[in-house]
Structure 1
Amino acid sequence: MLEYSIYRDCFSSAHMRSIWSEHATISAWLKVEQVLAAHQAAAGLIPIEAAEAIEEISICDLNHEELRKEMMFVGRPIVGLAKQLRQLLPEHSAHVHYRTTTQDVMDTALAMQMKLGLEQIQSTLGDVMAAIAHHVSAHPDTMMMGRTNGQHAVPIRLATKLEVWRSELGRRSEALQEAAKRGLNVQIGGPVGDLRGYENGIGRQIKQDVAHSLGLSVVEPHWQNARDGIADIVTALGSLCGTLCKIAHNVNQLSSSDIGEFAEVHEPGKGSSSAMAHKRNQRASEFGEAVARLGRQRAGQIGELTHHEHERSGGVWIGEWIVVPEVFLLTSGALHWSERMFKSLVTDTNAMALLVSSYRSVNSIYHLDRS
């Protein structure tokens, strides 16, 4: 469904899809192979000519159908990638995918994609918070009814309600920054993660050099079977989706016919019903809630995928291949709808004032009766 042309813009942003597309993913795998080869050559482990030849390979040189066949046969995509690189560079075949393993390539590429995805999410989140701030500035003194446990409470400032939302989103942004510090790490370690293919500490230097080149951090001794960093990032995204879901649900409720304090800017045909011509459904808050709910639920699966057995466990690792990209995609979609929701939000201050006035009248009578 996330790839349907009719649906995909409802569930994710085009930019996030480009980060996690098949083309981008294979390109990231190839980039890891190239950067690793470059630093191995600099350390004198492979000929410089081999690294330069690997660097010149483009994703366009790869046969994607053969990659698919190898994946289905072998069960890992990097085997087919390395095989094609060796076929393309027969004179350097011994130095392709040198002293590394499939998980090194895929985990490092995953960290690269998560880094780009988090940058995009933080950018859009900043736009959402700015849109909320605009409404705060526009309504510094507007009063509305506060509601607790589904009942009218006492009047509150609209700006306060909005500031609570913006403050919570700010904390979600900080949580993502902290998670990124822990989870965006290079993975260079070889078959069991311990750099046993290298001697005299050169492997650790190469790992640090690759990390520096890719803008990633280093974890010692490795995180091959320690997925807490990825879990931190995905969990932080899930928490962000939880906040977005709550906000969208509240906006949708306040946009209902029974309350009518919020609404989306009306355009002919927007939010229309196929059976009831009079309806103007609130689509941004509706989709914002739905997509954020999906993102939060999908993120909840990451805890189960941290349960690796011994030095590697494919049964949980494979699950990440689906869960991690989809959480990023759904989070981008939830943010897209949230930004659209606040940028098209119309506030009916008369409806708010009428309810506040009614409350004060009733409350005044109540106090007179008690006296």
Structure 2
Amino acid sequence: MNPISSCFLDSLTVTSFFGNAEMRAVFNDRQLMQAWLDVEAALAGAQADLGIVPTAAAQAIAAAARVESLDLATVASDAADTVHPLVPMVRALTRAAGDAGRYVHLGATTQDVMDTGFVLRARAGLDIVSGQLDELIRILRRIALRHRDTAMAARTHGQQALPTTFGLRCAVWQSELQRHRERLAQLRPRLLVVSMGGAAGTMAGYGPRAFELERAVASRLGLGVASTPWHATPDRLVECLTLLGLVAASAEKLAREVYFLGRTEIGEVHEPQRDNQVGSSTMPHKRNPIRCEAVIAAAGTLRAQVPLAMQTMVSQDDRDMGVGMALWKLVPECFILIGGALQRLNEVFAALRVDPARMRANLSATGGLLLSEAVMLRLAGPLGREPAHHLVMRIVRDSLDQGRPFAELLRADPQIAAAVSGAELDRLLDPLGYIGHAAALVDRALLESEA
């Protein structure tokens, strides 16, 4: 790694917060260049299959199409001189292939090679993301089962609402991630196609057997064939980055949930802490949720790239690199950001500290106010729903204004006393008796996700 990096993703000091080694290994300079070399080798091999170039030449090109075979210093120098992203590599490959070099890049254009290379790297990146999502889903399923009946306060608008279970919260999260996994699977056949439009999208340079050649190149690379050239329609890559943005949004939500539930005043769930982890340089007592914060930062950064990715679709004519160049930055960066975010989220949830006792204590924090719906609905029969709602709401306000227990004021009200016995009122104010179908919803969610 360069000790003096101009990119925060590769900085020595913050690399542990953004990205991860596995995704960086897919999208580093050498691997991107190798993907382009793989495309050049596949093109030569397919041309040899069709008798367009000698088989021996294609074999020589394939043997030379390795990053380690090229003079990368010369490639870098040529890139500065030619102001071209691919020509220096093509020249280096031509030299490395010897006499066979005359057949390198035959009929192709820069964007064909680069876009197909990005598709190859995106395929590898999607494999990693899919694996990370699978692992996170498995972890959340385990937690959902373990805490299927662990009661806690549901919160809406930032306030305690009704009792729920932590298991249901986790079941809901894993269901959302399941849908992302389905979306990514549905994306693959649209994204994983070769780009072989030629200089202006007509495939003229590939000769009379262009369609056969396209299919042969695609077969060698394990990709599909697009019905039309896509030089000026990068919606495939943009859709991919948009889906990564969706995954990032869910990742950020989960990280924020842990962040919020771990607040000192709540204390229901905590990010795991390593023995040698430092929370604060000045406050030894701090146990900061630093991994969750890193997920939040990475996810927000990734999602901010989605509008820029969409801008690349607003291109002119049959090619427009004024917008297309942005994808050179966006594709690697977005994959690196999501890879790091998901890795950290997996680390957090794999060893998540859940405090059921604190959850139970917080259920009692309002003195039974979060059971007001249960009381109101019980009174709706004898009193009518609207009168029951007004009655209970008045008692709630009196409880808050006077600082008196909700249960005490309920028992003191003659309308309520006439309609509900003291024993029944106690049952209505038991949080564990009003978690609805939370456990059954957990079972249903996990059963459906197995199908």
Give TM class, smaller chain. over 0.9
Contact 1:238 1:300 in 2 (8 A): no
Tell whether the 8 Å contact from 2:197 to 2:230 is kept in structure 1 after alignment.
no
- Deviation of 1:137 (Å): 1.6
Shift of 1:270: 2.2
Moved more, 265-274 or 24-33: 265-274
Distance in 1 (alpha carbons) for counterparts of 2:150 and 2:330: 43
Return the letter of the residue paired with 2:75. L
Matches within 5 A, 1:1-371: 1-57=8-64, 58-200=66-208, 202-359=209-366, 361-362=368-369, 363=371, 365=407, 367-370=410-413, 371=416
Distance in 2 separating the partners of 1:236 and 1:320:
15
Q: What letter corresponds to residue 188 of structure 2 in structure 1?
A: A
Report the AA paired with residue 339 of structure 2: S
Q: Assess if the C-alpha contact under 8 Å between 2:46 and 2:213 holds in 1.
A: yes
**CA–CA distance in structure 2, aligned partners of residues 92 and 174 of structure 1:** 44
Q: Provide the rounded CA distance (Å) in 2 between the counterparts of 1:98 and 1:368.
A: 89
Q: Scaled by the length of structure 2, what TM-score is found? A: 0.79
Q: Kindly name which structure, 1 or 2, has the bigger radius of gyration based on alpha carbons.
A: 2
Q: Secondary structure at the match of 2:161?
A: strand
Alignment partners' CA distance in 1, 2:35 and 2:140? 36
- Once the two structures are TM-superposed, the CA of residue 28 in structure 1 deviates from its matched residue by 0.8
- Give CA deviations for 1:171-220 in whole Å, capped at 9, x if unaligned: 111111122221121011211122112343x1111111211221212112
Please give the alpha-carbon distance, in whole angstroms, between the structure 2 residues aligned to 1:86 and 1:354: 72
Letter of the 1:299 counterpart = V
1:190·1:197 contact (CA, 8 Å) conserved in 2?
Answer: yes
Post-superposition CA distance 1:72-124 (Å, at most 9, x none): 22232221112122223342232111111111110111000000000000001
Cα contact 2:130–2:181 (8 A) shared by 1: yes
Q: How far has the Cα of 1:302 moved from its partner?
A: 0.5
Aligned counterparts of 1:61 and 1:221: Cα–Cα separation in 2 = 34
For 1:251, give the aligned amino acid: V
SS at match of 2:45: helix
Q: CA deviation at 1:48?
A: 1.1
Q: Distance in 2 between matches of 1:361 and 1:31?
A: 66
Q: For residue 216 of structure 1, what is the amino acid of its counterpart?
A: L
* 145-154 or 79-88, larger mean C-alpha shift: 79-88
SS at match of 1:156: strand
SS of alignment partner, residue 280 of structure 1: coil
Query: Contact between 1:76 and 1:102, CA under 8 Å: does it hold in 2?
Result: no
Conserved 8 A contact 2:60-2:97:
yes
Output the CA distance in 1 between the equivalents of 2:268 and 2:300: 24
Contact 2:272/2:348 (8 A) holds in 1: no
Give the 3 Å change call, closer, same or farther, for CA 342–161 of structure 1 in structure 2: same
Q: Secondary structure at the match of 1:306?
A: coil
Find the aligned partners of 2:366 and 2:150 in 1 and give their Cα distance.
Answer: 15
**Larger deviation, residues 264-273 vs 342-351:** 264-273
Moved more, 165-174 or 260-269: 260-269
Q: Distance in 1 between matches of 2:101 and 2:150?
A: 71
State whether residues 244 and 335 of structure 1, in contact with CA within 8 Å, keep that contact through their aligned partners in structure 2.
yes
| Counterparts of 1:80 and 1:293, CA distance in 2 | 36
- The Cα RMSD (Å) is 1.6
Deviation at 1:369?
4.8
Quick one: percent identity of the two aligned structures?
30
Per-residue deviation, 1:339: 0.3
Q: Which runs of 5+ in 2 are unaligned?
A: 1-7, 372-405, 417-451
Q: What amino acid does structure 2 have at the position aligned with 1:249?
A: R
SS in 1 for 2:39: helix
Structure 1 unaligned regions, length at least 5: none
Displacement of 1:271 in angstroms is 4.3
**TM (normalized to structure 1)?**
0.96
The 2-side partners of 1:271 and 1:343 are apart by: 20
90-99 or 43-52: bigger deviation? 90-99
Change in CA separation of 1:73 and 1:153 when aligned onto 2, cut-off 3 Å: same
Does the 8 Å CA contact 2:214/2:225 hold for their aligned counterparts? yes
Moved more, 355-364 or 144-153: 355-364
The Cα of 1:359 is off from its aligned counterpart by: 4.3
C-alpha distance in structure 2 between counterparts of 1:74 and 1:63, whole Å = 16
**Which amino acid is the alignment partner of residue 282 of structure 1?**
P
Amino acid of the structure 2 residue aligned with 1:236: L
